Amino acid sequence: MGKGRLEAFSDGVIAILITIMVLELRAPHEADASALRPLAPVFLGYLMSFVYLGIYWNNHHHMLHAAREVNGRVLWANLHLLFWLSLVPFTTSWMGEHPLTTAPVALYGFVLLMAGVAYFFLAQALVAHHGADSPIAKAIGSDRKGRISVTLYVVAIAASWWAPWLSLAVYVAVAAMWFVPDRRIERALEGDGTG
Amino acid sequence: MGKGRLEAFSDGVIAILITIMVLELRAPHEADASALRPLAPVFLGYLMSFVYLGIYWNNHHHMLHAAREVNGRVLWANLHLLFWLSLVPFTTSWMGEHPLTTAPVALYGFVLLMAGVAYFFLAQALVAHHGADSPIAKAIGSDRKGRISVTLYVVAIAASWWAPWLSLAVYVAVAAMWFVPDRRIERALEGDGTG
Amino acid sequence: MGKGRLEAFSDGVIAILITIMVLELRAPHEADASALRPLAPVFLGYLMSFVYLGIYWNNHHHMLHAAREVNGRVLWANLHLLFWLSLVPFTTSWMGEHPLTTAPVALYGFVLLMAGVAYFFLAQALVAHHGADSPIAKAIGSDRKGRISVTLYVVAIAASWWAPWLSLAVYVAVAAMWFVPDRRIERALEGDGTG
Amino acid sequence: MGKGRLEAFSDGVIAILITIMVLELRAPHEADASALRPLAPVFLGYLMSFVYLGIYWNNHHHMLHAAREVNGRVLWANLHLLFWLSLVPFTTSWMGEHPLTTAPVALYGFVLLMAGVAYFFLAQALVAHHGADSPIAKAIGSDRKGRISVTLYVVAIAASWWAPWLSLAVYVAVAAMWFVPDRRIERALEGDGTG
């Protein structure tokens, strides 16, 4: 079975998710610049979620690029990933309204955690279909970054009970780890996540 | 006539439908976890409709994969299917607000029923175009699952008058029948639906 | 220049337009079936606009299928068409609220008229690029249906001042003319439109 | 790495942005034509942003057409461009409500400025990947129009403090410069922007 439609469908869903989040940024009724200040946490939340969805799109792009074809299990593993990503606008909106409160910050991390786990299942489904010696299995490898991310999300969720700002810092750090292709940062963060 | 644009257009519509449903999940104004509890039925409705739209996308993917080309009748049969699917966010939203009330539960089933019938017409249009001996005719076969589903939707709509929770159980069962590729479940449900 | 992205972009815009219109169908707060009755005009308006956008997508599909390539003028003629189509959700929403009132009914027809004119310009741009002897020039031909439609829209807009229901009937008739591939209906309507 | 998915994803995002802007055009509750008058600035803002997004889509189409392939830096440069474009519905909505007030007019220009800069970075990333002698490097050239636009946006933002209508005129002029493929207009505007 060809992978073209799975890519096109995932592109469509991620493109829509990235764009409907901006609907949360409602234009203020006042016309002066200070009216934008209350929007700052919503805007920063949008920026972070945009970067996270961009990272998922990039990684999805790379992983599927290495795949030859897909099967039914891969289709559902992909839909499972898209389901968790589809909740990002909801958690972004809640956290944007309460940027330093336990429940919204923890839920934001929980959805990232589940998306990370879903991505791992998708990778497993692709490796199972192509074989352990296939190029895609080598491209995915041990998926160290993915495992560090999942660990850090758990840490961030736990931290949200006593210091939500620390959870936010962890979310930013995980995004930076994926964004900046620097092996030293990755290793530094690994030490952090397991410490 | 090529099938590429029909696939792309259907992917687009289903991707948007799946994503705009999540707009119904509005972030609560309170910041504590208990504020999420009233959203539970809306969330479960979203989950069910996500799975249904995922099933339609999967089946559409498989059926069109077996098609060589399309004609005007197929284009309109496809738009007819997309029309009924486009009403899923509306029925999901109404049922999410009144999860155990006759009218919303019956209407949810009615739209599923019409989508099932529209899918059947689309399959017929494809078979008529490719011929009864074509690979697509064999791939569709007697479409037993489709006929079981339509029967079960009728049962569920009828049941909504005296036991809406039973209708919901039937909707879950039909989704499970498509989701779980297990022939025994299919047969068990068939006995249920005709009984 | 390839036509693939123009097709993909147009598919995307039309798919989104068709789907966001359904957001106007807001689930009623009451749970009984009679609460759906006030939605009837909105629903019928949605149905009509869905069919119109479906007709445009079908015709666009056929016309671009006959094209070999596109140029800058075609890109802008296509965006011009998409601009008028993008106003359909707005006019549908206004007419849905006031289904038998002059201004909303006339504006609905005006946007259809401008979309029809924009489609004509797109066809001209494609013919100019491919040459008068090209397959696409033959496929478009004299575009009699298009000219009948534009004439009928003008009639319907004029009629909205004294009988909005007649305008609605004309909109339905034009949609039927495109939907039903029957030359006799086309000729009958032609007699109607010029009489 | 192929460029197909980058094109498809960008098409999706721009198609959605162009279409969700129309959601700001809310149908008035009154049914007479005069009820449309207060919508005029919102409509004109929508028209201008539609043209701007159309210009970006056209230019993106042309630039990627000349590209052979993409790399990680190009993917992120493209996401960066889409981020700024995704803010256009927000600034359009704010400016539509306050069409002649400093802050909304300046912010509208600021987002256009950042999108222009992001487009420049994307072009640089593509040239760096393909080499200075590649067809894409020649196609982009000195990107005079792009540099004129960025200069004019800065002028318009500055002008918004004492004459917001002048800023609007500059936004219209920049759009016209891209829309009208006339070298004399380009040169005339260049004189304007540096004067």
Residues of B in contact with C181 (CB under 8 A): 72
The residues on D that touch C, with CB distances below 8 Å, are 7-8, 11-12, 14-16, 18-20, 22-23, 25-29, 31-33, 35-36, 47, 50, 54, 57-58, 61-62, 65, 179, 181
Indicate if the pLDDT at residue C1 is higher than 80.
no
Print burial letters for A150-177: b (CB count within 10 Å at least 16), e (below 16): bbbbbbbbebbeeebeebbebbebbbeb
Residue pLDDT, tens place only, B81-123: 999 999 999 999 999 999 999 999 999 999 999 999 999 999 9
Partner chains of D (3+ C-beta pairs under 8 Å): A, C
Interacting residues of B183 by C-beta distance below 8 A, sequence separation 6+: none
Percent residues over pLDDT 70 in chain A: 92
pLDDT band at D194 (very low <50, low <70, confident <90, very high): very low
pLDDT band at C195 (very low <50, low <70, confident <90, very high): very low
Average pLDDT estimate for C157-186: 85
The answer to whether the beta carbons of residues A165 and A107 sit under 8 Å apart is no
Indicate if the pLDDT at residue C183 is higher than 70.
no
Indicate if the pLDDT at residue D82 is higher than 50.
yes
Residues of D in contact with A56 (CB under 8 A): none
Indicate if the pLDDT at residue A186 is higher than 50.
no
- Which one-letter DSSP state was computed for residue B133? T
Q: What's the rounded Cα separation, in Å, for the pair A49 and A30?
A: 27
Average pLDDT estimate for A6-23: 92
Residues of B in contact with C14 (CB under 8 A): 9
Which residue in chain A has the smallest CA separation from B5?
A: A5
The residues on C that touch B, with CB distances below 8 Å, are 7-8, 11-12, 14-16, 18-20, 22-23, 25-29, 31-33, 35-36, 47, 50, 54, 57-58, 61-62, 65, 179, 181
User: What is this model's ipTM?
Assistant: 0.88
A186-190, C28-32, C76-80: segment of lowest average pLDDT: A186-190
The two three-digit tokens of residue D54, written as one number:
């159309």
What is the reported pTM?
Answer: 0.90
Q: What's the rounded Cα separation, in Å, for the pair C65 and C63?
A: 5
The answer to whether the Cβ–Cβ distance between C28 and B86 falls below 8 Å is no
The answer to whether the Cβ–Cβ distance between B19 and A8 falls below 8 Å is no
Give pLDDT, residue C194: 40
Average pLDDT estimate for A4-33: 91
Give pLDDT, residue A174: 95
Interacting residues of C139 by C-beta distance below 8 A, sequence separation 6+: C62, C63, C66
B106-120, B170-184, C80-94, D32-46: segment of lowest average pLDDT: B170-184
Q: Which residue of B1, B10, B16 is the best one to mutate when testing the C interface, meaning the one whose CB has the most C CBs within 10 A?
A: B16
Q: What's the rounded Cα separation, in Å, for the pair B9 and A183?
A: 41
Helical pair C88-97 and C72-86, crossing angle rounded to 10 deg: 20
Q: What's the rounded Cα separation, in Å, for the pair A121 and B20?
A: 25
The answer to whether the Cβ–Cβ distance between D94 and A20 falls below 8 Å is no
Give pLDDT, residue C133: 87
The mean pLDDT value of chain D amounts to 89
In which residue are the tokens 């920026």 written? Answer: A47
Q: What's the rounded Cα separation, in Å, for the pair D44 and D92?
A: 10
Residue pLDDT, tens place only, A112-165: 999 999 999 999 999 999 988 888 888 787 788 899 999 999 999 999 999 999
Indicate if the pLDDT at residue D52 is higher than 80.
yes
Residue pLDDT, tens place only, D138-158: 878 778 889 999 999 999 999
**Per-residue CA distances from D56 to B130, D13, D89, D109 (Å):** 42, 12, 14, 15
